[in-house]
Structure 1
Amino acid sequence: MTSPGGFDVRRRLADICGEQFAREAGAADEVAGVPARWVAAPGTVEAASAVLSLAADHDLAVVPRGAATKLDWGAPPARLDLIVDTGRLAGIWHRDPGELSVEVGAGTPVRAVQAALGQRGHRLACDPRSIGATIGGVLAADEAGPLRHRFGTPCEQVIGVSYIDAEGRLHHADGWSMRGGAGPGLNQVLCGSQGALALLVSATLRTQAAPSARVWVSRSVWTPLEVHDLVRQALAASVAPSAIEVDLPAHRALLIPRQRSRQGPGTVALLLEGAQAEVLERAEQLVGVLGGDARALDTPPRWWHRYPFEPGEVALRLTVPISDLHAAIYALRDAVGGPIPVRGAAGIGVVQASLPASLGAERVAAILSAVRGVLLFRGGTCVVTSAPPAVRQAIDLWGPVAALPTLREVKERFDPHRRMAPGRWIGGL
């Protein structure tokens, strides 16, 4: 296939990447429902730079792709010509002699990095919920798992990145501020940008010694208020959990009067890590603090590391101070008219929820309006991470975004011609 000007894009991409790594897009090569025209998988940083230079020369809109675990998240691109597959930009590229950090190619699966580091007794404090996710994909979406409670998001663990800008130029950035000392570092701005600023080719992340022991302390719950109280007690106990997660299923038992003799349908679970003896001691202490049917387990609950939504459902992310998390969940239930699945980081106030796929756009919009109205005065947000195409196109995915003017300036600086994932970033940038 040639471009409107007669230029043979596939042929040129094949010259850069190799014949078997450049092709016309197929039925599965789409981003949030928008089909691409070509797919290229550069095998070197130099090839990736040449691909983006080609895209710049011919005004091709580009979306990076890792394992495609989150390509249906967020808004669809305003236009899409070329998917740049990062799968060949993989592997551990450099280890710090002191084992304090590691540089990893963007297309490397997180599990592969953890396996390699684990052979030497180390790990990344990074445990995304998307199975098979790559380092680049996790950083592009700033996707965090349970370990965020203690160690922060994956983007907060990045100490340097290498990226290719919209013109095809390679850059290296560390944690220095974009504005001479105040504000986020450049690597932090690139992380979480959904590929809308540049193509990430590698990242250098902090590593740490892997814990010798891990114990999960789990207790059943009935209500969001009960979750609030238990989390508060656990934090006050100074047991230093690595994660505090909650699972509140859409259970019919929640609609009837509470029966204290029965086990609650929900669960609060805390992860304790460290040396064997002291972890067991902390676990025993925590079981006493939580009371009820709390118990210590050497394996996580079945729902651990999993999102509460399925493909095709409306996926929400609620972020709110932990003191108001129960109020946010109650507000969501009231807006929907009943319990819905909620799961996530109860210890930091970031949870995911799922709305049925059968809800139409008008009903979803009304739910979002009600919930965002409650959260507005509590310093919280409600973002739609994924939804069926008809719903996604008709609703406001993000709600109020106070930083939108600043983000618009950043987009203009990095991608003034709007070729990098146009429309995918916050606010449709």
Structure 2
Amino acid sequence: MTPKTEAELAETIRGADAPLRVIGGGTRPIGGASNGAILSTSTLRGIELYEPGALTLVVRAGTPLEEVEDALAREGQRLAFEPMDHRGLLGTEGTPTIGGVVAANVSGPRRVQVGACRDFLLGVRFVDGAGRIVKNGGRVMKNVTGYDLVKLMAGSYGTLGVLTEVALKVLPAPPSAATIALRGLDDAQAVRALSQALGSPFEISGAAHLPGKVTLLRIEGFADSVAYRAGRLRDLLAGFGAAEVEQDEGVVAATWQGIRDVAAFHGREGDVWRLSVKPSDAPGIVAALNDVEAIYDWGGGLVWLLAPPGRGQAIRKAVAAKGGHATRLRGEGGDAFHPLPAPVAALQARLRQRFDPRGLLNPGLMAGA
């Protein structure tokens, strides 16, 4: 089913008598797949309003992400939260949509500086599980009507409602960028270096550590500022070894796109896990597992693991012991999402009952969460 309008979508959901599998571009099949009929938002597309001077974009949920980014680039602007493309990691095809990005709260390396997708979400329109059209939020950041509900939809994976339109704050794209690289650090040393840089006044917009002992920092802005901060960072991190600075625009962009999309794990056998942990705990968790390969992003707060099949229980146990959580993005066996504490699970169940009383929308997708 591919409704062409919001009203048609609402009618479809009101008339449904069996579960629905809600998809956008179909590029992120994460979690338990419902056996219900596919309900696609791919025809709900188009930019409704774009005001570059107001840094505001209103766009229908099924609009391809590439179309949104191209429109912004023509005005020298961008989605600051840098959404990743899951296709290479998950081996999927299709076209990522802006609604899918919001529904999964997809955020890239720049989150350490600017925040997540939900932090740029100004307003939403969606159809809930009862077929009601709901509008929440506004088109400017100061309009906070229903603010919590706007945030709630980001990361709900279509289990509370089907997004039809999103309003986003956008930001100017900086004219220059550089990558500062340190080599030869082990995981613990790398996280210390990343934390020191992130704690500096030099406005780090990316902080990652890759297999092969490559530790990377990104700075962005006007060319003179980037050059100055790169030099200061080299001095700051001198105790970790000699730092290299790369300022070629194409090389810097390609490097961070690879980090954003977890390119090091593309086309490789094994399960892929996404860990959210305290940065200082991350190296110890990885070391305790001993048979995994890790990519550290967000200064160590986000860890991507490539692991042999069947390691889910050990991964969850190691992460839970440190108060973090683990999501399986690729692989089989058990729930994909980390089990929630009982009070949070009860609250989530009440929200689902409120917005999807018949349990139609992506039932079972977030089992464990």
For Structure 1 versus Structure 2, the TM-score category normalised by the shorter chain is 0.7 to 0.9
Question: What is residue 276 of structure 1 aligned with on the other side?
Answer: 223
- Distance in 1 separating the partners of 2:320 and 2:181: 33
| Mapped contact 1:146–1:344 kept (Cα < 8 A) | no
Q: Secondary structure at the match of 2:299?
A: coil
Q: Is the 8 A contact 1:368 1:382 kept in 2?
A: yes
Q: Is the 8 A contact 1:320 1:380 kept in 2?
A: yes
SS at match of 2:315: helix
Instruction: Please report how far the alpha carbon of residue 45 of structure 1 lies from its aligned counterpart in structure 2 after TM superposition.
Output: 1.8
**Aligned ranges 1:331-410 → 2 under 5 Å:** 334-335=288-289, 337-338=290-291, 340-347=292-299, 349-356=301-308, 359-360=309-310, 364-375=311-322, 379-388=323-332, 391-392=333-334, 397-401=337-341, 403-410=344-351
Question: Which among 269, 277, 284 is matched to residue 320 of structure 1?
Answer: 277
Distance 1:365 1:279, change over 3 A: closer
Distance 1:244 1:152, change over 3 A: same
Q: Secondary structure at the match of 1:171?
A: strand
Taking structure 1 as the reference length, the TM-score comes to 0.74
Report deviation, 1:68: 1.3
From 235, 240, 250, the counterpart of 2:203 = 240
Q: Which amino acid aligns with 1:305?
A: R
Match for 2:364: what amino acid?
Answer: G
Paired with 2:150 and 2:244, the residues of 1 have a C-alpha distance of 41
Aligned pairs for 1:91-110 (under 5 A) are: 91-96=46-51, 98-110=53-65
**Candidates 168, 174, 177, aligned match of 1:205:** 168
Structure 2 distance, partners of 1:348, 1:173, is 34
Does the residue aligned with 2:159 lie in a helix, a strand or coil? Answer: coil
- Kindly report which structure 2 residues correspond to 1:40-51, keeping only aligned pairs within 5 A, or say none: 40-51=1-12
Give the whole-Å Cα distance in 2 for the aligned partners of 1:213 and 1:97: 20
Is the 2:123–2:167 Cα contact (8 Å) retained in structure 1? yes
Q: Residue 316 and residue 184 in structure 1: after superposition, are their counterparts in 2 closer, same or farther (change >3 A)? A: farther
Displacement of 1:326 in angstroms is 2.2
Whether the 8 Å CA contact 1:149–1:348 is kept in 2: the answer is no
In the alignment, residue 21 of structure 2 is paired with which amino acid? Answer: V
Q: Which residue of 1 aligns with 2:18?
A: 60
Partner of residue 260, structure 1? none
What's the offset of the Cα at 1:201?
A: 0.8
Q: Could you list the per-position Cα deviations for residues 348-382 of structure 1 after superposition, in whole angstroms to 9, with x for gaps in the alignment?
A: 611211113xx34xxx244235413532xxx3222
Contact 2:316–2:338 (8 Å) recurs in 1: no
Aligned pair 1:89/2:39, yes or no? no
Which residue number in structure 2 is paired with residue 185 of structure 1? 148
Tell me, in whole angstroms, the C-alpha distance in 2 between the residues paired with 1:426 and 1:81.
16
Structure 2 gap segments, 5+ residues each: 88-94, 139-143
Q: 1:295 aligns with which of 244, 253, 271?
A: 244
Q: Which runs of 5+ in 1 are unaligned?
A: 1-39, 176-180, 250-264
State the structure with bigger RCO (CA 8 A, min sep 6), 1 or 2: 2
Q: Does 1:116 align with 2:116?
A: no
8 Å CA contact 1:244–1:269 kept in 2: the answer is yes
TM-score (norm 2): 0.86
The alpha-carbon distance between structure 1 residues 229 and 411, as it changes in their structure 2 partners (threshold 3 A), is same
With over 3 angstroms needed to count, the CA separation of the structure-2 counterparts of 1:93 and 1:142, relative to structure 1, is same
Find 2:83's aligned residue among 118, 128, 132. 128
Aligned to 1:30: none
Runs of 4+ aligned structure 1 residues displaced above 6 Å come to none
Separation (CA, whole Å) in 2 of partners of 1:288 and 1:53: 62
Query: Which residue of the partner structure matches residue 420 of structure 1?
Result: 361
Letter in 1 for 2:326: C
Q: Percent identity?
A: 27
Report the RMSD for the aligned CA atoms in angstroms.
2.4
Instruction: Write out per-residue CA displacement over residues 87-118 of structure 1, whole angstroms, 9 at most, x where no aligned residue.
Output: 21122111247332111111122222111011
Shift of 1:234: 0.9
Distance 1:81 1:240, change over 3 A: same
Partner of 1:286: 233
Amino acid at match of 1:200: L
> Larger Cα Rg: Structure 1 or Structure 2?
1
**CA–CA separation in structure 1 for the residues paired with 2:346 and 2:367:** 11
Whole-angstrom CA distance in 1 between matches of 2:312 and 2:42: 37
Q: How far apart, CA to CA, are the structure 2 residues paired with 1:425 and 1:62?
A: 14
Structure 1 residue aligned with 2:91: none
- What is the number of residues matched between the two proteins? 345
Give the Cα–Cα distance (whole angstroms) in 2 for the partners of residues 167 and 373 of structure 1. Answer: 36
Q: Structure 1 residues 221 and 60 mapped into 2: Cα distance closer, same or farther (>3 Å)?
A: farther
Partner of 1:385, secondary structure, is strand
Change (3 A) 1:60 1:221: farther
2:21 aligned with 1:74: no
